[in-house]
Amino acid sequence: MVQAALMKAGVRCEVLDTVSVPPRSRRRAVFKISGSEIGFHAAQSNTIVDMRECLVLTPGLFGLVQALRRRLALVLKAPADLHVTETDTGFDLAFRSPQTVTPALTQAMAGAAAGLDIARILFNGALLLERAAPEVVEGGARVKLPPQAFLQPTREGEQALQAHVAQIVGGAKTIADLFAGCGTFALPLAARARVHAVEQDAPALAALAEASRAAGRKPVTTERRDLFKLPLTPAELNLYDAVVLDPPRAGAEAQAGQLAKSRVPTIAYVSCDAASFARDAAILAAGGYRPGVVTPIDQFLWSSHIELVAGFVRGKG
């Protein structure tokens, strides 16, 4: 998939062997719930496959689903989507359902959560229960996750991406982390560089800033900005030794166009979509960047999605 996308976009570069995460490593998922069934939709259908085995989810997340099946059947009066993240301080649950929040629902939900390692429960955006702030550690800094914040789906994939990004930016002293989320790259990089994190989601940026202050790192500066509409300009980009970017599936066409006109020496590009990556890589190459090797990271096991990371360096002239 990665090679085909690069060939189609006319980008010549080496694609290394795929790094795969182990089975049973996915730490977040959205489950479908109806009556006493909890699982995922069958392919191209709205039928829920009641999940009795899963080779993708972490054992903790799978165990939670089994424990919730019977308990939630007594609490939920309508079908629901349940977004769960396994954090270092417990599970973070967010329900979406036509059911409205009432004191009875809150009480029933607290009963259903009893004895399970649940940190927080939200229902249609309302906080029902918070026993602990859901936290993950990024580069030694503790990040309090905002509700339904983006988080790399597996710890193993995240560690592989962080290691590749650190290697690509090398000894850069000033780094811009674009599409920074809660700081997956900014926080570890801040151990040895001044990092400016740019992202459009305000709660994610606030969590990143708080984590960086508490960790006593070199301060990470943050900027809330829509990078599709208002990408960093060449003058802004030229302040940095390296730029990290990790856009959503649509890629970062506008930002790649500005980078192509900049003098930033090194770019680390993390992508979850081979086609938009290849398009942006072609823009960077046309602007004089040389692509390094591309490493596919399969953290969406047995699916047609693929993550990848690649470096680009400014060519001469």
Ligand X SMILES: C[S@@+](CC[C@H](N)C(=O)[O-])C[C@H]1O[C@@H](n2cnc3c(N)ncnc32)[C@H](O)[C@@H]1O
Provide the strand spans (E) within 72-190: 80-87, 90-96, 118-123, 126-130, 135-138, 141-144, 174-178
- What gap in Å lies between CA 266 and CA 85, rounded to an integer? 33
Per-residue contact track with ligand X, 209 to 248, x per CB under 6 A?
-----------------xxx-----------------xxx
Cβ at position 200, least distance to ligand X in Å:
4
> Does position 199 bind ligand X by CB under 6 A?
yes
Q: Is 231 in contact with 204 (CB distance < 8 Å)?
A: no
The residue within the footprint of ligand X, chosen from 139, 153, 181, 296 (CB under 6 A), is: 181
> Looking at beta carbons only, is 247 or 311 nearer to ligand X?
247
| Region from 10-18, 96-104, 105-113, 178-186 binding ligand X, contact rule CB under 6 A | 178-186
* Residues 261-290 as x/- pattern, contact with ligand X by CB under 6 A: -----------x------------------
Would you say 285 or 309 has its CB closer to ligand X?
309
Half-sphere exposure of 162 (CA within 13 A, CB side): 21
Distance CA(129)–CA(50), nearest Å, equals 26
Distance from chain centroid for Cα 61: 18
Helix boundaries (H) for 43-154: 59-73, 103-113
How many chain residues bind ligand X (CB under 6 A)? 19
| Binding interface with ligand X (CB under 6 A) | 150-152, 179-181, 184-185, 199-201, 204, 226-228, 246-248, 272
For the annotated catalytic residues, the residue numbers are 272
